[in-house]
A and B are shown apart, each in its own frame.
Chain A
Amino acid sequence: MKVEQISIFLENKSGRLADVAGVLAAAGVNIRALSLADTTDFGILRLIVDDTAKAKEVLKEHGFTVGRTEVIAVEVLDKPGGLAHILNTMRDASINVEYMYAFVQKSGGNAIIIFRFDELEKAIEVLQKAGVRILPGEEIYSI
């Protein structure tokens, strides 16, 4: 049910993002989705890729600090209220969204959003009860 995300610590200096992209390109790793959180001094790049283990390995080889986190990919109806429905469900269950970002591709006409919740297992349970489709890792990596 969960999707593995890698996160990379980046200093705010020019070229670092390009370096990451370059390392992944050279290793033949394809990026499926990404989000960049930035502060004055540093940024955290979060990626969903087709080969998490390889991505982590090559980035570490190049001296990056890399973390792995479990997130979930949720299918969201591509119409007004689609996202609101999901978020309301989480609010009712008192689950916090730490961050979220959208996938470029669609899944059967629906949008895909990556969520990082504070309570992962509970979130999965609540979403499933609410009839929301959660995309398994394999499906996401190979989109």
Chain B
Amino acid sequence: MIWNEEFETLPREALEALQLKRLQHQIERVYAAVPYYRGKMDEAGVKPADIKTLKDLSRLPFTTKEDLRINYPFGLFAVPFDQVVRIHASSGTTGKPTVVGYTKHDIDSWAELMARTLSAGGAHKGDVVHNAYGYGLFTGGLGAHYGAERLGAAVIPISGGNSKRQIMIMQDFGSTVLMCTPSYALNLADVMKEMQVEPASLKLRVGLFGAEPWSENMREEIQKRLNLKAIDIFGLSEVMGPGVASECIEEQHGLHVFEDFFIPEIVDPKTMEPMPLGEHGELVFTTLTKEAFPVIRYRTKDISRLIAEPCSCGRTFYRMERITGRTDDMLIIRGVNVFPSQIEHVLMSIEGVEPHYQIFVDREGSLDVVEVQVEVSENIFSDEVKVLEKLGKRIEREIKDLLGISCKIKLVEPKTIQRSEGKAKRVIDNRKL
């Protein structure tokens, strides 16, 4: 069901007019309120008044995680501090966390966005929402919580952990909607099996999973093992938290970006130029209504593409494709942008293959040649040559299908691939370009 019929089905033209109006207002406000953004815009020689069409968005400078770090903790807040009613922070894997703030109005928008997300996933008033996203500084728990309340569902704020208790509560309280990370969903399936609880005996109908990358194969596994429909949801704390984009239960194909709140762009991560609609590149977001922590052209480093084709659910918002990789170490092979993480996805989708791999790129004549070395673990090893050869061929075929490039798979002994500080160097580019 569509939560907000008026906005979610706006004709493109009206939607874009609304986006422009909101963008102009947002840029004006940010320019006036945040010295750092003002400095960057001045440096780029662009003033708020230069934003005359949506295309002018591309004149604005990008914002990166580095900008957020420089302004730690509150330097990019765009409202007086007494307007801030909530602070969240992402776990910083390197150094300081990323801090974001919300005004009362932001919290209200967020609840609306998550109510839309839940509704797109098939949840409704009367549902029992089992919210196993972590509550705390992480945006997942509270973001989902407020959305479920807005929807009119009964929320169980169970947070993460203690899987046995989670399953007991699912049984006793009759949870119908599960919200957690996809990996935790699989963990719950494992524990159910251990406890000899039949998923079919539970009332779970749908699960909204996000906060980490997952694959179609994982979706199938979760759907089968938990006996529910698995919906991919997307968000990042810098932009809002969960509630930036969501799949609809009708298609389960591509995540509708809530474009009245955010403008998504796809840019070439090398040239930073906008990509043609439908092409893969780095996903960039600009917030249109955020008060406390607006972001302008925030680089997510996630790889996706936008799908403009109409969707059977009736929403007019473009869909973003499931995240297929990260921009770090992008390669250009025969003109095709290739991300090592895409190759990793292929490898991980093949049962038993551990993602110990290395990509070698060479140039033979004028042609780029790619060899992917994959370590043979005990799981995939066989005493029969044909089994191993078949595996190599299968990986080649799947990479060709997904990335459109031909490569050669070479099976290598374990630990052949150099590991520096525990982390493998994924790409060896021997081309002299």
Contacts and interface: CB of A to CB of B under 8 A. Distances in A.
A119 B156 CA distance: 53
A11 B383 contact: no
Q: Which 7 A-B pairs have the closest CB atoms?
A: A7-B383, A69-B383, A9-B376, A65-B381, A67-B381, A37-B385, A63-B415
Contacts, number: 51
A69 B383 CA distance: 7
A44 B413 contact: no
A42 B411 contact: yes
B6 interface: no
Interface string B162-200: 000000000000000000000000000000000000000
Given A39-B389, A42-B388, A63 B383 contact: no
Bin the interface of chain A by size.
20 to 34
A92 interface: no
Nearest to B377: A65
B381 A9 contact: yes
Contacts of B411: 9, 41-42
Nearest to B375: A65
Contact of B384 (A11, A41, A98): A98
B414 A67 contact: no
Interface string A115-128: 01000000000000
A41 B413 contact: no
B252 interface: no
B415 to A, nearest CB: 5
Given A7-B381, A46-B383, A64-B413, 6 more contacts: A7-B383, A39-B389, A63-B415, A65-B413, A99-B384, A116-B384
Interface string A88-116: 00000000001100000000000000001
Interface in A42-70: 42, 44, 46, 63-67, 69
A10 interface: yes
Contacts of A44: 382-385, 388
A37, A41, A46, A99, most chain B CB atoms within 10 A? A41
B413 A66 contact: no
Interface of A is mostly: strand
B174 to A, nearest CB: 47
B381 to A, nearest CB: 5
Interface of B: 376-378, 381-385, 388-389, 410-416
Nearest to A6: B383
A65 B383 contact: no
Interface of A: 5, 7, 9-11, 16, 37, 39, 41-42, 44, 46, 63-67, 69, 98-99, 116
Nearest to A9: B376
Contacts of B389: 39
Nearest to A38: B385
Nearest to A41: B410
A11 B382 contact: no
A65 B376 contact: yes
A51 B383 CA distance: 18
Contact of B378 (A65, A69, A98): A65
B100 to A, nearest CB: 45
A73 to B, nearest CB: 15
Contacts of A69: 383
B378 A39 contact: no
A11 B385 CA distance: 13
B383, B389, B412, B414, most chain A CB atoms within 10 A? B383
A22 B74 CA distance: 63
A64 B414 CA distance: 7
